[in-house]
Amino acid sequence: MRYPVVAGRFYEGEAEALRRQIDHCFLHPHGPGPLPKSGSRRSIVAALAPHAGYMASGPAAAHVYHAILADGLPELYVLIGPGHTGSGAPVAASDEDFLTPLGVCETDREAVSKLDGIVEVDRRAHMMEHSLEVQIPFIQTIDPSPKIVAVVMNTQDPQSAVETARSLRKASAGKDTLFIASSDLSHYVPQARAEKDDMYLVERILALDVEGIYEAIAYRHISACGFGPIVAAILASKPSSAELLKYMTSGDMIPMNDVVGYAAVAFRR
């Protein structure tokens, strides 16, 4: 079992308090509104969601899960996040179930067993990593019995993203799959700079411009932490379009001079 490491810090550590906190994320002025009824069209094949503490990025993340529920629930959620600790393999999957205050979220071990190439099963990368953990309570809120594959990218170069996407497509073949890239955008810069840089990057994400995403990171020095997972999710899901659901910064939630940027994006088939 992979036990939570940021419960009580990034989000409430007790079940009822966490449910109230997540409800607040949906109903917040920056949130999407009350949870909709589950849809059935299933046009969303991938999404981008932030992974900061819920008090800062929760309403932005809520836009992603509101859209997923309205669109229809998948059979499998593949979570791809950056490694913040550097532990474990360059690209590491977990074969453990994930525990949160809302209960156990089951890992699809059949899919994990089909991973190959650059993606290795390595629990060390997940032990202290928050980028995927914070997505799971939102998934548990919209889906009563989700199954996940959790992948941490410690290496985010273009070839690693290509190889990760290939392995994930192979492992999830035959399953109705939704890929979720976990990333924050600009880190600790003034609000005006965050908005300018982030929208430059978001424009390339919405254009499904993989080369442009890497160019934005490399040459404009935009400090998005999960650019590799974003590219891997795009390559794995092969969407035809993308929609910006919400953009905001931590400064919209908490008064601060230097902010972190958050985008919620839905990619559609």
Residues 196 and 96 in one domain: no
| Burial class, 229, CB count within 10 angstroms (exposed 0-12 / middle 13-18 / buried 19+) | buried
- Calculate mean pLDDT across residues 169-175: 97
Residue 14 lies in a domain: yes
Among 121, 147, 173, the domain boundary falls at 147
Q: Please report, as a single letter, which amino acid is at residue 181.
A: A
Q: State residue 190's pLDDT score.
A: 97
Q: State residue 163's pLDDT score.
A: 98
The Cα–Cα gap between 185 and 49 comes to 10
Q: State residue 54's pLDDT score.
A: 98
Annotate 13-80 with DSSP letters as a single string: SSHHHHHHHHHHHHHSTTS--SPPPP-S---EEEEEE--S-HHHHHHHHHHHHHHHHHH---SEEEEE
The Cα–Cα gap between 261 and 250 comes to 7
Q: What pTM did the predictor assign?
A: 0.97
Residues 64 and 121 in one domain: yes
Residues 143 and 196 in one domain: no
Residues 221 and 105 in one domain: no
Residues 211 and 116 in one domain: no
User: Rounded mean pLDDT of the chain?
Assistant: 97
Q: Determine how many CB atoms are found less than 10 A away from the CB of residue 224.
A: 26
Q: Determine how many CB atoms are found less than 10 A away from the CB of residue 106.
A: 12
Q: Are 54 and 22 in contact (CB under 8 A)?
A: yes
Residue 170 lies in a domain: no
In 83-196, beta strands by DSSP E? 91-93, 98-100, 103-107, 119-121, 147-153, 177-182, 187-190
Residue 32 lies in a domain: yes
- Calculate mean pLDDT across residues 167-179: 98
- Calculate mean pLDDT across residues 68-97: 97
Residues 122 and 51 in one domain: yes
Number of domains composing the chain: 2
232-267 pLDDT per residue, tens? 999 999 999 999 999 999 999 999 999 999 999 999
- Calculate mean pLDDT across residues 197-208: 98
Q: Would you place residue 27 in the very low, low, confident or very high pLDDT band (cuts 50, 70, 90)?
A: very high
Tokens 């390559």 belong to 235
Residue 124 lies in a domain: yes
Domain of residue 218 covers 191-246
Residue 196 lies in a domain: yes
Residues 89 and 196 in one domain: no
Q: State residue 12's pLDDT score.
A: 98
Q: Would you place residue 172 in the very low, low, confident or very high pLDDT band (cuts 50, 70, 90)?
A: very high
Q: Would you place residue 69 in the very low, low, confident or very high pLDDT band (cuts 50, 70, 90)?
A: very high
Residues 23 and 139 in one domain: yes
113-169 pLDDT per residue, tens? 999 999 999 999 999 999 999 999 999 999 999 999 999 999 999 999 999 999 999
Residue 45 lies in a domain: yes
Residues 109 and 41 in one domain: yes
- Report, in this order, helix, strand and coil percent for the chain, each rounded to 5: 40, 25, 35
